[in-house]
A and B are shown apart, each in its own frame.
Chain A
Amino acid sequence: MMKVMDISRACGVVNDVMLDSFHSSFGGETLNRTEALNKIKLIHSAAHKRSPASVYLKRVSVVILTLAISTGMVFTFSEDARAYVTNWVKEINQNMTIYHFYDESNNDKVASVRIKHMAKGYFEKSHTQYGSPFSFTFENEEGKRLSIDCYRKDKFSIHLERDSGSSETIMINGNEGEFYGKTSEAEDCILIWTNTGQNLAYVIIGDLDKEEMIKIAEGVYTKVYQKEGDEDYEG
């Protein structure tokens, strides 16, 4: 009688020999890290195109923004309290602030984007439309990056690994926003705001002072349309 253990053992032999042969036949030059990360972008783009309300968005109803620090990655949190702020509900945890937006039930489609102001020395590195209406990355000669992202309020909430108490309220073109300054050299500043009347939320992350970040934010103009014939209006 053939036992599962026997099959498992024999499978192990086959598996090893098969993979060795596979590597001999098809192995060779590997990708470098840059190339691998570019592949990841393509993979994400393809996955999103395949299914707009895809597994990426379905499984995860939030966006966790990583701060542009050298090892900055994803983090965890535990729930503590909630605070109410215009245009969003802010959930405050130990070291995390989460912005949950109202369900605007608009379905604003971004037709075009203009970024009228950029900090001196920064040039556009890339702009994409993956999983959010748009995303721009700028860079300067020192390699410092600045990102401008726009999200659909009904699809995302935004998690920031920042103490809410470190933010200050600011105004962007008459809309309320919040600015987080640097608390250490390794951190970037964050500016988050929404436009009333639009189903869009914006986030800028970069190593610039508050005034410069506000100026950039005020220069972000988004044309949206909901149906043909609608008068375009700007964010």
Chain B
Amino acid sequence: MNKVEQRLPLGYNKIDNLLIIGGSELLILLQMFSGSQDESRLTDLIMRYWNEMVRYAESILGNHQDAEDAVQSAFISIFEGFDRYRDRDDKALETVLYVIVKNKSIDIYRKNSLRTYSSLDDNIRTVEFSVPEEDSLACAIAGLPERERDLILLRFYHGYSVGEIAEMLDISYFAAQKGILRAKNKLIRKMEEGG
């Protein structure tokens, strides 16, 4: 373990302009991206969404520390895959972040409780919402199980490829593909039953 054997006097001076960055850790992170716009955008994302996502993760996990870990893990995924998100607007990123945070929270939940995913489905707190009843297709989509709804939104609304979705959700390509097909078939059946 590194240690500083000769400590200089410690002091703290509040720095207002934190764009003046020292130390290699941020520099290594920042240079992953194509320019200052990425860095600025990512900082903004964290500023805007960190607390909200932690609150959401905490609603799933019931534990603040685990929630922070889940959100941290989600942002690592976003950072690492930023090439695919760079040209997306903030609304698109919101959905992605929400889905990834949920996924990471589920992972932690499963590790902690050793429950199966299907039992978790019953216990996970979803975001309650309702869509206009006259929009039968939107109702059908909203009524899909959480995971399948996410797949449909990412694929057909946000336009991510199957491979990208698989990476986002940390599942295999075939699991993503199968999930999307299954969800789409369910929608078709629901619409046909609805007339």
Please give the residue numbers on chain A whose beta carbons come within 8 Å of chain B beta carbons, in ascending order: 2, 4, 6-15, 17-23, 25-37, 39-47, 50, 55-56, 59-60, 62-66, 68-74, 110-116, 118, 122-139, 141, 143, 145-147, 149, 151, 205
Contacts and interface: CB of A to CB of B under 8 A. Distances in A.
Interface of B: 2-13, 15, 17-36, 39, 42-44, 46-53, 55-56, 59, 72-73, 75-76, 79-80, 91, 94-95, 98, 127-132, 135, 137-138, 140-142, 149, 152-153, 156-158, 184, 187-188, 191
16 contacts: A11-B156, A18-B95, A18-B129, A29-B51, A36-B46, A37-B43, A43-B75, A43-B79, A56-B29, A66-B30, A73-B30, A126-B23, A130-B28, A135-B24, A143-B20, A146-B22
Contact of A124 (B5, B7, B59, B94): B7
Given A20-B129, A46-B72, A139-B13, A4 B156 contact: yes
B135 to A, nearest CB: 6
Nearest to A149: B24
What are the 5 tightest A-B residue pairs by CB atom distance, in nearest-first order? A130-B25, A11-B157, A21-B129, A73-B36, A137-B22
Contacts of A131: 24-25, 28
Contact of B25 (A19, A68, A128): A128
Contacts of B39: 73-74
A25 B127 contact: yes
Instruction: Count chain B CB atoms within 10 A of each CB in A47, A50, A60, A141 and give the residue with the most.
Output: A47
Given A8-B157, A12-B157, A31 B129 contact: no
Nearest to B36: A73
B31 A47 contact: no
